[in-house]
A and B are shown apart, each in its own frame.
Chain A
């Protein structure tokens, strides 16, 4: 069975600083990988996804993520964080079209002024 680990439960960064959120997955085949963001009281919004091809994927709101098969990782990055980025971020792995997603436990991002 697939699994996802987000090692950092909480991260605090200063506004304008760079950000990297870690995600490691366990899956036997080539995974479908996702990052979602959840603001308080809201549903999950898709930031970006990886299925195949270029291992560096661009998403909305200036986020990007890099798939590294050798490290089983799919870390999320942003060069300059804005206060509005404060939220909970979830990494997820899927087995293919129409199948369930397995989520990590999430990383809560706080942004200092």
Chain B
């Protein structure tokens, strides 16, 4: 079974430029999460989707960040414009309510460097 797929793995951009990250969750997983991981810290939730609905986006900086999961499968996270402080790893995870647990499976992440 394929795991959570993310692309790109690495992205270097200049500040004020836009950037987008893509995530494809494990097949059949209806819940999708985007986490932000700063260097030397644990991941922090940005947004959580149940199918195509964003059910928890309280930590998403909505002035510059946006996300979508149009068909309830893959998802895109966008930053526009990027700032120096956005340099971090962006992790995508997925889980299945059908498993009756809270086990989240993580992708390899996208490491963003803003110059």
Contact = CB atoms under 8 A, between A and B. Distances in A.
Interface of A: 4, 32, 34, 36, 41-46, 49, 51, 90, 92, 94-101, 103-106
Size range of the chain B interface in the assembly: 20 to 34
15 contacts: A4-B42, A34-B103, A41-B111, A43-B107, A43-B109, A45-B106, A92-B42, A97-B97, A97-B99, A99-B102, A100-B45, A101-B45, A101-B104, A104-B42, A105-B40
Contacts of A98: 31, 50, 95, 97, 102
B56 interface: yes
B51 to A, nearest CB: 11
A105 B102 contact: no
A92 B106 CA distance: 13
Nearest to A31: B102
Given A97-B101, A98-B95, A101-B102, A106 B108 contact: no
Contacts of A104: 42
A42 B100 CA distance: 27
B8 to A, nearest CB: 13
Interface in B44-69: 44-45, 48, 50, 56
Nearest to B44: A103
